[in-house]
Amino acid sequence: MRSKKQPRELLLKGGTVVDPFRKEKYVGDVFIKNGKIQKVGDVNYKSSMTQVDCSGLIVTHGFCDIHVHFREPGREDKESLATGSQAALAGGFTRVCVMPNTNPPLDTPESIRFIVEKAETLPIHIHPIGSITKGQKGKEICEMAAMRNEGAVAFSDDGIPVSDGEIMRLALEYAGMIGVPIINHAEDCCIRKNGVMNEGEISTRMGLTGNPDIAESTMVNRDLELAQLAGSVLHVPHVSTAKAINHVRRMKKEYKHLSAEVTPHHLYFNDEALVEYDTNLKVAPPIRTEHDRRALIKALKDDVIDCIATDHAPHTIEEKERTFDLAPFGMIGLESCFGVVYQILVKESGMALGELIQKLTVNPRMVMGFQPDLFKPGIQAEISVIDTEKEWVFKKSSIQSRSGNSPFLGKKVTGKIHFILSKGIITEIT
């Protein structure tokens, strides 16, 4: 990747502008001055402008990922805010929300301030998600209001479900008072137990402990009911099962303060991919059946699932080279995201490009209460420029993350990020 300061006057000329906020698509220009949007559409070229020919390319909003793990503080050997920022840029993301399961967790106002202050000098916008409970132990609610004042945009004990229903109810009520979402890792630990992959024929054949789909669906249903009772905003992360989708679909008909996300890896793989014991495919919740995968795609197309989030989860080589049952859960996903979802959703499943981009840009921003209209004059430019015709192979050289735990290595995909504008910096993806 190559980065440089944006020129004072920059004209992105003749690209196909995809405006996911207004749901428009047309050939046009984007004029940026002093890092801010001036005009989108037909712009008269002036000699003072630096012109970039974008013909044949898609010009759209910078992507927003509301579910990443950057491991700082405590495990910077896996990822730091700085290296995670580079991974995000490589994937077309100009804004991310970092989960709180760091060491120590983001469970105090001071820890939230640490992330906010350190992120100020980095090339993307980074927002901290605070822990629901102190130490992520599920017993005592954190100082939500004080953490919100320091910059927390949501609350989650991600990776560790809030199992106590009363604690979850209180969390939803408190979060409702300060106007932020609650995000609960939706797995019932008593049902999941020590499951390391989807429970079914394939887990039995492989001799691995299974995690049944109802471990997710029962927790999702509980959380939906509690959110409705509390009148609060609930975001359901990384939905993986058809049964959970049915609960979300039903509740959305009667309750509007609800959203859900799906990951690229749950859209791409089914549990048959695990037969070679690739630990990079060990994730939580697990890769499910082909029936579940198809249900996720349909739910995304039906707007039952609102947005795509990578759940970018870096681990060291040494950790992932353990046996399948001992390896940690998680894979990286920022750099490979667009190529994977464009291949699956647009090329193979017939989703319109504008709809896909909306689920990577406008929808996640609306979930978190961010500005959704990035082509509004005066807004700081957050732009992704994409070559949707580019076929490429995801290689180690494609990875900017400090970790390399990706099952997409060696996969051929279509659609590649060309360059990114973020925080006054233009970054070319090579």
DSSP 288: -
User: Is 311 one of the catalytic residues?
Assistant: yes
Structural domain contains residue 88: yes
In this structure, are 336 and 358 located in the same domain? yes
Is the pLDDT at 174 greater than 90? The verdict is yes
Structural domain contains residue 220: yes
pTM of the shown model: 0.97
Task: Compute the mean pLDDT over every residue in the chain, rounded to the nearest whole number.
Answer: 97
Q: What are the b/e assignments for 229-238, b being 16+ CB within 10 Å?
A: ebebbbbbbb
Structural domain contains residue 334: yes
User: What stretches of 72-220 adopt beta strand conformation (E)?
Assistant: 93-98, 125-128, 155-156, 182-183, 197-198, 210-211
Give the pair of three-digit tokens for residue 99: 């989960």
- Helix, coil or strand: residue 232: coil
pLDDT value for 430 = 86
Give the domain range for residue 341: 62-368
In this structure, are 387 and 321 located in the same domain? no
Which candidate in 19, 65, 188, 311 is catalytic?
A: 311
In this structure, are 283 and 183 located in the same domain? yes
- Helix, coil or strand: residue 233: coil
In tens, the pLDDT along 206-251 reads 999 999 999 999 999 999 999 999 999 999 999 999 999 999 999 9
Number of domains composing the chain: 2
In tens, the pLDDT along 91-127 reads 999 999 999 999 999 999 999 999 999 999 999 999 9
